[in-house]
Amino acid sequence: MTTAGAGAGARVEPVSEATAGPSLDREVFRRLARLVHRESGIRLTEAKRSLIVSRLSRRLRALGLSDFAEYCALVEAEAGAEERGRMISALTTNVTRFFREEHHFRQLCDEILPPLIAHARAGGRVRLWSAGCSTGEEPYSLAITLVERFPDAAAHDVRILASDIDPCVIETARRGRYPASSAAALPAELRRRYLMPCKDAPDQVELERTLRALISFRELNLLSRWPFRGRFDVIMCRNVVIYFDAPTQEMLWPRFAEALAPGGHLFIGHSERLTSSAASLFRNTGVTAYRRAGPEAPESRCAGVGQGDTPKPARPSPGDVPPSRSGRTTQWA
**What span, in angstroms and rounded, lies between the C-alpha atoms of 207 and 218?**
18
CA-angle at 135, arms to 129 and 137, nearest 5°: 65
Q: Is the dihedral of CA 302, 303, 304, 309 positive or negative?
A: positive
Query: Which helix (H) or strand (E) element contains residue 70?
Result: helix 68-76
- Spatial CA neighbour of 236 closest among 148, 182, 162, 303: 162
CB 304, CB 125: distance < 8 Å: yes
C-alpha distances in Å from residue 72, one per residue of 47, 69, 82, 83, 166: 19, 5, 13, 10, 20
Query: Which helix (H) or strand (E) element contains residue 198?
Result: strand 195-198
- Write down the catalytic residue from 164, 212, 238, 325: 164
| Known catalytic membership, residue 157 | no
> DSSP assignment, residue 177?
E
> DSSP assignment, residue 311?
P
| Known catalytic membership, residue 203 | no
The backbone torsions φ and ψ at residue 11, rounded to the nearest 5 degrees and listed phi first, read -155, 165
CB 126, CB 161: distance < 8 Å: no
Residues known to be catalytic: 55, 164
